[in-house]
Structure 1
Amino acid sequence: MHIQVIFRVIGLMIMVFSLTLIPPILVSLIYSDGALQAFLYAFVINLVGGAVVWFPFRNFRGDLKIRDGFLITVLFWSVLGLFGSVPFVLTTDPELTFTDSLFESVSALTTTGATILTHIDSLPESILFYRQWLQWLGGMGIIVLAVAIMPMLGVGGMQLYRAETPGPVKDSKLTPRIAETAKALWYIYATLTAVCTLGYWAAGMTFFDALCHSFSTVAIGGFSTHDASIGYFDSVLIEAICTLFMLISALNFGLHFYAWRHKSVWHYFKDSEAQFFFFLLFSTITMASIVLAITSTYDWATSIRYAIFESVSIATTAGFGTSDFSVWPHFLPFLLIVTSFAGGCASSTGGGMKVIRILLILKQGFREIQRLVHPNAVIPVKVGGKAIEERVVSAVWGFFSAYLLVYVMLMIGLMATGIDQVTAWSAVAATLNNLGPGLGEVAANFASINDPSKWMLCFAMLLGRLEVFTLLVLFTPMFWQR
Structure 2
Amino acid sequence: MAKRLINTSVTLNVIGGLLFIMGTLMLSTLCFAIYYKEPILPLLFSSLITIGTGTILKLTTISSKDAEIRKRDGYLIVTMGWLSMAVFGTLPYLLTGAIPTVTNAFFETMSGLSTTGASILDNIEEMPRAILFWRSLTQWIGGMGIIVLTIAILPMLGIGGMELFVAEAPGPTKDKIHPRIKETAKRLWVIYVALTTLQTILYLFAGLSFFDAINHALTTNSTGGFSTYQDSIAFFNSPIVEYITILFMFLAGTNFTLLYFGLKGKFKNILSNDEFRWYLSAVLGLVIFITPIVYTQVGDASFLSTFRTVLFQVVSVITTTGFASADFTTWGSLVTFIFFLLLFSGASAGSTSGGIKIVRIIVLMKNGFLEFKRRLHPNAVIQVQLNNQPVPGLIIYNLLAFIFLYLFIFTIGSMVMTGLNVPFMEAVSSVATSLGNVGPGIGELGPSHSFSQVPAAGKWVLSFLMLFGRLELFTVALLLTPYYWKRN
* TM exceeding 0.5: yes
Query: For residue 124 of structure 1, what is the aligned residue in structure 2?
Result: 128
Query: For residue 59 of structure 1, what is the aligned residue in structure 2?
Result: 63
Q: 1:41-440 residue pairs with structure 2 within 5 A? A: 41-61=45-65, 62-92=67-97, 94-141=98-145, 144=148, 162=157, 167=162, 169=164, 172=167, 173-174=169-170, 177-261=180-264, 263-296=265-298, 298-440=301-443
Structure 1: stretches of 5+ with no match in the other structure: 148-156
Residues 159 and 360 from structure 1, CA distance in 2 versus in 1: closer, same or farther, beyond 3 angstroms? closer
Residues 159 and 376 from structure 1, CA distance in 2 versus in 1: closer, same or farther, beyond 3 angstroms? closer
Deviations 1:188-214 (A, max 9, x none): 111111111111111111111111100
1:24 maps to which of 18, 23, 29: 29
Is residue 160–residue 398 contact of structure 2 (8 Å, CA) maintained in 1?
no
* Aligned counterparts of 2:11 and 2:335: Cα–Cα separation in 1: 46
Q: Which moved more, 1:215-224 or 1:369-378?
A: 369-378
* Aligned counterparts of 1:89 and 1:166: Cα–Cα separation in 2: 39
* Aligned counterparts of 1:422 and 1:243: Cα–Cα separation in 2: 28
Deviations 1:66-85 (A, max 9, x none): 01011000011111011101
Is residue 109–residue 135 contact of structure 2 (8 Å, CA) maintained in 1?
yes
| Structure 1 residue 60: Cα displacement | 3.6
Is residue 7–residue 57 contact of structure 1 (8 Å, CA) maintained in 2?
yes
Is residue 8–residue 53 contact of structure 1 (8 Å, CA) maintained in 2?
yes
Task: Give the count of matched residue pairs.
Answer: 470
* Aligned counterparts of 2:278 and 2:432: Cα–Cα separation in 1: 22
Residues 89 and 281 from structure 1, CA distance in 2 versus in 1: closer, same or farther, beyond 3 angstroms? same
Query: For residue 7 of structure 1, what is the aligned residue in structure 2?
Result: 12
Is residue 427–residue 438 contact of structure 1 (8 Å, CA) maintained in 2?
yes
* Aligned counterparts of 1:424 and 1:303: Cα–Cα separation in 2: 30
Deviations 1:271-300 (A, max 9, x none): 100011111112211222021122345442
Q: Secondary structure at the match of 1:449?
A: coil
* Aligned counterparts of 1:412 and 1:467: Cα–Cα separation in 2: 21
* Aligned counterparts of 1:125 and 1:279: Cα–Cα separation in 2: 39
Alignment RMSD (CA, Å):
2.2
Residues 4 and 296 from structure 1, CA distance in 2 versus in 1: closer, same or farther, beyond 3 angstroms? closer
Structure 2: stretches of 5+ with no match in the other structure: 1-5, 173-179
Deviations 1:307-364 (A, max 9, x none): 1110111111000001111222121122112113121101001111111001011001
Q: Secondary structure at the match of 2:332?
A: coil
Is residue 65–residue 159 contact of structure 1 (8 Å, CA) maintained in 2?
no
Deviations 1:90-149 (A, max 9, x none): 112x343100000000100111001001121121110111111111111121793999xx
Q: Which moved more, 1:137-146 or 1:232-241?
A: 137-146
Is residue 344–residue 350 contact of structure 1 (8 Å, CA) maintained in 2?
yes
Q: Secondary structure at the match of 2:28?
A: helix
* Aligned counterparts of 2:93 and 2:161: Cα–Cα separation in 1: 29
* Aligned counterparts of 1:163 and 1:361: Cα–Cα separation in 2: 19
* Aligned counterparts of 1:423 and 1:168: Cα–Cα separation in 2: 35
Is residue 297–residue 331 contact of structure 2 (8 Å, CA) maintained in 1?
no
Structure-1-length-normalised TM-score = 0.93
